[in-house]
A and B are shown apart, each in its own frame.
Chain A
Amino acid sequence: MFRYTEYPPKGYRVRVSTYWWTSRWAYVKFILRELSSIFVAWFVLETLLQIHALIGGPAAYGDFWAFLRKPVVIALNVISLFFVLLHAVTWFNLAPKAIVFRLRGKRLPSLAIAAPNYVAWVVASVVVAWLVLRG
């Protein structure tokens, strides 16, 4: 009887190198996109530290800002911003690959399908910035 397995059953298989993804730029981009999740998790951790500091009172909150001003943390956050932007752009650009719209028999261009995502992104960013910065 056949049983469902998440990977092929044992048998002859060619061993693929751990670095298989270095052979092509498209594969490197794929791995970079997948690695963005680490920086998403780092952002959540940073936010939880901030909430913890907020609970701790003004002195603890001041210490948290001193931590964020450390050059190592700034450098890590610059890299994080690069990766979360990569995630955002690749995520928004997925929509046209999943949805095919036809208008008068012609396929709607990818840009027209991805555009609403970018509009939502700008609106969300402006609302968050306004709420935080209005003072």
Chain B
Amino acid sequence: MAKRSNEPFLWLLFSAGGVVAALLIPIQLFLFALAFPLGWLHAPSYDQALALARSPLGRVYLLILCILPLFHWAHRFRYTLYDGLQIKHLNELVNTLCYGGATVGAIAAAYLIWRIP
């Protein structure tokens, strides 16, 4: 009996995370990590940022923006190590660190987003 693989599920998360990362991360990173810190554009104030983040739509957006790309990272990084470094004997450890790391990150993200006042 072949063991049922959970690969399709992980691949689905990888794929959904890839779409979110491709569509949203470039603009997010450009604005928040470059344009605002370097003063090219005027950053939203604390109150404006809080208003954006705490709205129901803002919270859902942040959840999607954080959680799906984390699983995208886990899957792709796992295979980068697999193909690049050929550390197949550490397969179990690598899988645990990648998917486990993404799960911990996802729980942390959900907790933080829930705590936004």
B-contacting residues of A (Cβ < 8 Å)?
Answer: 4, 6-7, 16, 18, 21, 31, 34-38, 40-41, 43-48, 50-52, 54-55, 58, 61-62, 65, 68-69, 73-74, 77-78, 80-81, 84-85, 87-88, 91-92, 117, 120-121, 124-125, 128-129, 131-133, 135
Contacts and interface: CB of A to CB of B under 8 A. Distances in A.
B48 interface: yes
A120 B2 CA distance: 41
B112 A43 contact: no
A31 B77 CA distance: 10
B23 interface: yes
Interface of B: 2-3, 17-19, 21-34, 36-38, 41-44, 46, 48-50, 52-53, 62, 65-66, 69-70, 72-73, 76-77, 79-80, 83-86, 88, 91, 105, 108-109, 112-113, 115-117
B41 A133 contact: yes
B116 A55 contact: yes
A132 B52 contact: yes
The majority secondary structure among interface residues of chain A is: helix
The majority secondary structure among interface residues of chain B is: helix
A65 B33 contact: no
Contacts of A54: 46, 49-50, 53, 116
Given A18-B85, A124-B23, A124-B24, A50 B66 contact: no
Most buried by B among A16, A87, A121: A87
A58 B117 CA distance: 13
A132 B61 CA distance: 13
Given A55-B115, A78-B34, A84-B25, A48 B49 contact: no
